[in-house]
Amino acid sequence: MKAILFGVAVGYVLGARAGRERYDQIARAFRALTDHPAVQGAAGVVRAKVGEKTGFGRKTGSRTIATNGHRPDPVIPRAN
């Protein structure tokens, strides 16, 4: 636990010294990387492979699993 707190403290100090300009530069580089077509294609392949292995996004009988991978809430009849 101490190591995590130490890492957070070091990251905070280094981030504070770097300043807002450096943060903005890193954020722009990250967005440019994630918007790159090759990265988008690789993310699509990974998403498809995970969907195959886990079953998320497939139809199951008459019900369809939502696109976020969760089944819709079941309808539970009320007891009278």
**pTM exceeds 0.85:** no
State the angle between helix axes of 37-54 and 2-35 in degrees (0 to 180), rounded to the nearest 10. 120
Tens digits of residue pLDDT in 27-74 = 898 899 989 999 889 988 998 888 888 876 555 555 555 555 556 666
**Which runs of E-coded beta strand occur in 1-80?**
59-60, 63-64
pLDDT of residue 70: 59
